[in-house]
Structure 1
Amino acid sequence: MSKCTSVIRELVMPVGLALLLGLMFRPIYFKGGNMDYFLMWILIGFPFGIRRMWLWLIPRNYGIAGTVGIFALNVIVGGIIGGFALMFQIFKGFLTLIKCFSK
């Protein structure tokens, strides 16, 4: 039964969080009847990828524009990594779901 309870942690919670983020950020990435898929990928993937970033660019000896630019680059890279991390988490959750019901 422990594998079946891990389905909730590995599949249901990440998918639920991604859907909640998708609904929350919908006015940002859906403008004028067109969807910006890259912006959606970054906004939904950011919470999943920011903790998986191995290297943070730290702004030193920059003005305000350089600091904001480097911070934006960190957010974009974290969002891209997070999109892939979310897809991997969903794939791993489906494998756990298949293992749970195959017994």
Structure 2
Amino acid sequence: MKKMIKKVIAPVLVITVLFAVLRPFCIQDGKCNYFLLLLLMGIPFGIGKMCVWMVPKGFDLGGTLAVWTMNLLIGGLIGSIVLLAMIGQAIIYLCVFLITVLTGIHKIPRIK
């Protein structure tokens, strides 16, 4: 049950809270722009996964803001892939958990 909380419930809860908080920022003409929503939701997941940061050196204020915006965009793109992978992992783990519970197998196989 501890793995169920760690692998399924916690990621889905974080994704749901991010969706609820960021969705009002993505409404355009009464419709939700889902690409922008996915990009914004991916920023918290992608910033930690970025291996290389572009550090603004020798720029004025406009150039510095442009470099930091590029960092956030790249982090959002990486994070959206990580976010989709987390959703896929949660679905797979939930299916494995349900199959093992329904078939009566008490030992849950490990998924890495």
Which TM-score applies when normalising by structure 2? 0.80
- Residue 53 of structure 1, aligned match among 50, 54, 71: 50
Of structures 1 and 2, the one scoring higher in RCO (CA 8 A, sep 6+) is 1
Shift of 1:85: 0.4
Correspondence for 1:79: 76
Percent identity of equivalent pairs: 29
- Give 1:27-66 correspondences, 5 Å limit: 27-66=24-63
Letter in 1 for 2:18: L
CA root-mean-square deviation: 1.4
Task: Kindly indicate whether residue 85 of structure 2 is the aligned counterpart of residue 88 of structure 1.
Answer: yes
Distance 2:69 2:42 in 1: 15
- Where does the alignment leave 5 or more consecutive residues of structure 1 unmatched? none
Distance 1:82 1:48 in 2: 5
Contact 1:10 1:90 in 2 (8 A): no
Shift of 1:99: 2.9
Structure 1 outlier segments of 4+, above 4 Å: none
Higher-Rg member (1/2): 2
State the Cα deviation string for residues 9-58 of structure 1 (Å, max 9, x = none): 12221121111111111221013212222210111111111101111111
Correspondence for 2:5: 8
